[in-house]
Structure 1
């Protein structure tokens, strides 16, 4: 019997009628039954689950059914199946959920191509059940838990390389709830790479019609205590104290410690809380919750943790009991910071620092850009409204901030003229209380209007490159920065300007990003536009020449005839440029171009297509599936990696020289950790 690629493990307890769809979704996978084994474990069901599994197994040789007495947890049947699994990979599928038809084929291919140990497939909510979303914003061929949102999802509904699980002798602890979190955390912390499939709906997550999901029925805090402690212990065992451990610990502090305390603690008897739960939780805080973790949490969690540190049991119970009422309390401005006016704020007896109540960094900026237009003197005038939520517009001092994302130009700040606003943004906050000692509510946003004039020709104000626009909104000494939205009318046309003392005309083109924000492109032939006939169909690093980017695409429509000779271009903010010709198929307009990065200086390089005819420069779009590469230069190895956060519209690649000694030290430390484990 050949070894299957994937072992699909399904624990089942009273899982009808959803079970049938679940098993059929595994049987119908496009990867093929010859590549699968499906192991379903009937955990003492009494509703016909066992009979249905036997019926399905009679029609499918790849389905193996194991019957056992009820264990009361999904952990035990999963472990039973793991002990007999033979696949290269293991996928855990809950009996109330189901798979997209092509899910396993895509996930296995992703693991094979990128040599990763864990693959996350995009999850979809059915019937409103919560699913993670942050990690699935884009496909990630190879990442890790420190540079992605993967660690936010600790459910076991993932593809695991079985050799990883066997090397760790990893099994699920027999808990009724949170049994999968220590399991997944251990796998994450020892995995050689994580992949994310975000461009296909892989896993459909739903609640049972009868409401008997274990996650929903095991809702007492006592059901979670063992699993939560094991999560903390797992992270502490595999990560040394420091920023990386704090980053991972924060997830457990927010979701496994603070979250359940707010909504589950009061379900327990006060005797159990005082004698068992409270001492245990205080021990977690003392051992694993550091100041850097607390600083990154929301104010009410910060308050709760400081009270636990100070061993103030009665205050802990009070703030949890009064949480809803306290959430509606107002805010105070002091020294350029905004504080939550909780009853314990600056209470000498509580001993909680002001920082626990500081909400400044969480206040949203409400703003609208009304217009963007070129003036006769060559300046770009921007008008609109902006204010900080909860802060009255007293002593306003708003600035426009320009930041170049594909070059090392310094940030540029342009003071805005603030004026009384005829009609502040209609955001539904008209009756909301604002923190100040000034005039009545109806005048507290009177100075929310702004006018900012950008003069691109003023000396060396703006260098070549693409500039994102922000507003630094200030009032009462409080400062918050927000990305500037584009006006509803869209961006204005490009303008050719002549910088002072230069004499060389330069094109400045405002453009709207796909997120509706306003940006400027300075220099060249104008900003990349989405209405170009160029269509990029593929991006990859050359399999033999690892320093070479291969771009495939086509020209569409009648406008393609005006393209003339086309060149694939990489340029940085210093004016350095490398171009290669783009050979066009004379009949179909298809092209394949190869752009070498070897020899380019370290830094960020923007990639676009530049025609010589009447067409505008076209962006090579941001590539969600393009990973990094490396090659050997004359002096030291080099790497090139896309920087998705650098641009919302255009591929930006960062070239770096590898610090070989530091790389060797990291690998030795990693090898040492694996040896200890």
Structure 2
């Protein structure tokens, strides 16, 4: 009889002729810091003939948490995964391929992230052991709560993730019986119905590797015949769960690029003439006509646009010619004409081919290379000096008209523009001459807004890179991997006011994606000048606790209790905790941990308070903080939540603490139609 309490995680391992990699795979699950009392491991031997079954039995004899199932071969990984799902009891499910293995602390971190943020899917950072490709864009920084429309999560559709099991069962999700692409529709459906996605990027969670014998399914089942059914189901899944419009276009783009155009270009020429013309071409054409909207068409690259145009217009012979010469034609260069950049493919402006110029327009797809080499205050006033280089790949930098643009975050604004001074730089990588791509600009933040300082809020820096009539606007960022020190992060400074404003406190900072921004606040007192908040996050190890971090400058380390982190209610009620300080490279670093879960319901403004001088400084709303929830045993286990409110004129962090409305939450959980109306209906 199974124990009364279900495990937190069911680890499902499909195994077919998986020796010798299998042993490390299974033991990595057995050695998780989450503890075997919190884990069940379900290993399914799918008719192996190489000793895999015997090795699983041996491991199972020494580990009560390991359950071994033997079955006849199903032909793919989906069958044994479904067998595991049918008997899984955990709150969460993690699919671990028998080639791969887990980092020791992976499951504990992912479960904590899901628990803290109430998310249904958690991605753990993936690491390549032997050169096998892994996604990287989504793992640039931790993301406590996001979704597939505002992150790179949808770029990885492998099922090696933590899924809330109730989501899987609510959707009746199982893997289709395909040899390849069987996991993509499963993960896509989970993503598109998930109540939030989390990303653990600060720990190596999942190690992928190729088998020594080279019989990975991705290699042995790589032909179009193995991919066709899974690809068709991917398109159908997106169409089922996402209403037509920009959001659907964003998701469809991934499948058009990776599951349609990629295999068409790489695999279709390898098929027999009869199979290519009579079986695969009609199917690809149907997908192009059904799922590639104008919104998707404009987002994809010129090589993909050309393929889609030839599919739509039923030009099989031209399509095959383009696919066979894809590598050669990729390097044919570009033409600048009337402010647009065109790919010089042989079909471009060939009257016999009659392909529209739009299919070759690469203007919005060309990489823009930027590097911020200098960000520093100039003199003692409010002039911020920026210098670096910026250029558009494949477009020679001739008579550049690049401009710096400042835009406030969160609401429409035309932006404040400043021309830059051209500097000569040498030996920049990329095609074309870019000796004039260097720039420098000095921005007087005391007069930037029509003679006055910038309004309070967070302002973001952009570069409008212009040359030969071509214009591309991108965020200004420092080089990847650059040290986060005073050289690139100038200290905050009080900027003298103009006719409409008092002095303001301006703090330049770099976000998690290394983009430069300004935090602008009224100069209220000395504390706001010396106390720099750099991070506000929820504690992943203790639900309902807010961690505020930063550093103090211009003073020695304060005495214990001299500065406190406070939550202030409109009624005047105050809850406070001390700052814990220690010396670091910026001066005196501090961290404070506020138990928000103990606060009564209401609106709470988060501030810092100097007890000796009675000065108060707002903790700024830095953006990115999501909501969280917890259960209060003293209230019969009723769930409560805290979430940041939109920043007001003060730009302070304000939290709303309130009980969850149980009827609404239960209705959304139990009624799929109500769930769609209440949650997914907002996507349009």
Tell me the TM-score normalized by structure 2. Answer: 0.77
Would the alpha carbon gap of residues 610 and 447 (structure 1) be closer, same or farther in structure 2, given more than 3 Å must change?
farther
Counterpart of 2:396 in structure 1 is: 392
Residues 510 and 353 of structure 1: CA distance in aligned 2, closer, same or farther (over 3 Å): same
Q: Is the 8 A contact 2:60 2:68 kept in 1?
A: yes
Counterparts in 2 of 1:642 and 1:258: CA distance versus 1, 3 Å: farther
Q: Which moved more, 1:239-248 or 1:617-626?
A: 617-626
Give 1:276 deviation, angstroms.
Answer: 0.8
Shift of 1:82: 3.0
The answer on 1:85 being equivalent to 2:82 is no
Map of 2:455 onto structure 1: 463
**Higher mean displacement: 498-507 or 291-300:** 498-507
Q: Which residue of 2 aligns with 1:401?
A: 405
Which residue does the alignment assign to 1:319? 322
The reply to whether residue 196 of structure 1 matches residue 236 of structure 2 is no
For 2:218 and 2:197, locate their aligned partners in 1 and report how far apart those are by CA, in whole Å.
Answer: 26
Q: Distance in 2 between matches of 1:479 and 1:540?
A: 43
Label 1:406 to 1:117 Cα distance change in 2 as closer, same or farther (>3 A).
closer
Which one is further off, 175-184 or 376-385? Answer: 376-385
Q: Secondary structure at the match of 1:559?
A: coil
Partner-residue secondary structure (3-state), 1:315: helix
Question: Which residue does 1:476 correspond to in 2?
Answer: 468
Q: What residue is the counterpart of 1:424 in the other structure? A: 425
Q: 1:294 — aligned with what?
A: 297
C-alpha distance in structure 2 between counterparts of 1:99 and 1:511, whole Å: 35
Structure-2 separation of matches of 1:515 and 1:161:
28
Offset of 1:300 from its aligned partner?
0.9
Q: Secondary structure at the match of 2:267?
A: helix
Residues 643/516 of structure 1: CA separation in 2 closer, same or farther (3 Å cut): farther
Question: What is the rounded CA distance, in whole Å, between the counterparts of 1:579 and 1:536 in structure 2?
Answer: 25
Conserved 8 A contact 1:496-1:506: yes
How far does residue 13 in structure 1 lie from its aligned partner after superposition?
Answer: 1.3
1:199-598 residue pairs with structure 2 within 5 A? 199-367=202-370, 374=378, 380=384, 382=386, 385-405=389-409, 411-418=415-422, 421=423, 423-429=424-430, 432-433=431-432, 445=434, 447-458=436-447, 459-460=451-452, 462-485=454-477, 490=488, 498-501=496-499, 504-506=502-504, 518-520=516-518, 522=520, 524=522, 539=538, 550-551=546-547, 559-561=556-558, 566=563, 584=578, 591=592
Moved more, 402-411 or 153-162: 402-411
Distance 1:279 1:34 in 2: 53
CA 1:273–1:65 in structure 2 vs 1: closer, same or farther (change >3 Å)?
same
Aligned to 2:627: 627
- C-alpha displacement of 1:277: 0.8
Q: Is the 8 A contact 2:140 2:513 kept in 1?
A: no
CA shift, 1:363, in A, is 2.6
Over 3 Å counting, the alpha-carbon distance change for 1:314 and 1:497 in structure 2 is: same
Deviation string, structure 1 residues 14-59 (Cα, Å, up to 9, x no partner): 1111111111122223333344332222222222112211212222
SS in 2 for 1:181: helix
CA shift in 2, pair 1:512/1:37, >3 Å: closer
Deviation at residue 504 of structure 1 after TM alignment: 4.5
CA contact (8 A) 1:498 1:506 kept: yes
Distance in 2 separating the partners of 1:108 and 1:294: 39
Q: For 1:429-473, what per-residue CA distance to the aligned partner results, in whole angstroms no more than 9, with x for missing partners?
A: 3xx34xxxxxxxxxx546445453433343226333443332212
Q: SS at 1:560's partner residue?
A: coil
C-alpha contact 2:103 2:204 (8 A) present in aligned 1: yes
1:417 is displaced (CA, Å) by 4.4
> Does structure 1 conserve the Cα–Cα contact (< 8 Å) formed by 2:14 and 2:44?
yes
Instruction: Identify which range, 479-488 or 192-201, moves more after superposition.
Output: 479-488
Q: 1:57 aligns with which of 57, 60, 63?
A: 60
**Contact 1:483/1:517 (8 A) holds in 2:** yes
Which residue of structure 2 aligns with residue 574 of structure 1? none
Tell me how far 1:170 sits from its aligned partner: 2.9
Q: 1:123 touches 1:203 (CA, 8 Å); kept in 2?
A: yes
Quote how far apart the aligned CAs of 1:295 are.
1.1
CA distance change for structure 1 residues 399 and 283 in 2, over 3 Å: closer, same or farther? same
Question: Counterpart of 1:438?
Answer: none
**Structure 1's 131 and 28: CA in aligned 2 closer, same or farther, altered over 3 A?**
same
Shift of 1:311: 0.8
Contact 2:536–2:625 under 8 Å retained in 1: no
For the aligned residue pairs, the C-alpha RMSD in angstroms reads: 4.7
Relative to structure 1, the CA distance from residue 208 to residue 617 in structure 2 (aligned partners, 3 Å threshold; closer, same or farther) is: farther
Moved more, 579-588 or 460-469: 579-588
CA contact (8 A) 2:530 2:552 kept: no
Structure 1 length normalisation: TM-score?
A: 0.78
> In terms of mean alpha carbon deviation, does 481-490 or 93-102 score higher?
481-490
CA contact (8 A) 2:567 2:574 kept: no
Q: Name the count of aligned residue pairs.
A: 630
Query: Match of 2:364, SS?
Result: helix
Task: Indicate if the aligned counterparts of 2:113 and 2:198 stay in contact, CA closer than 8 A.
Answer: yes
- In structure 2, do the counterparts of structure 1 residues 455 and 305 end up closer, same or farther at CA, with 3 Å as the change threshold? same
Query: Which stretch shows the higher mean deviation, 76-85 or 500-509?
Result: 500-509
* Preserved contact between residue 546 and residue 594 of structure 2 (Cα < 8 Å): yes
CA contact (8 A) 2:618 2:652 kept: no
**Greater mean alpha carbon deviation, residues 385-394 or residues 309-318:** 385-394
Change (3 A) 1:364 1:453: same
Cα 1:111/1:337, change in 2 over 3 Å: same
Contact 1:409–1:463 (Cα < 8 Å) also in 2: no
TM-superposed deviation, 1:267: 1.9
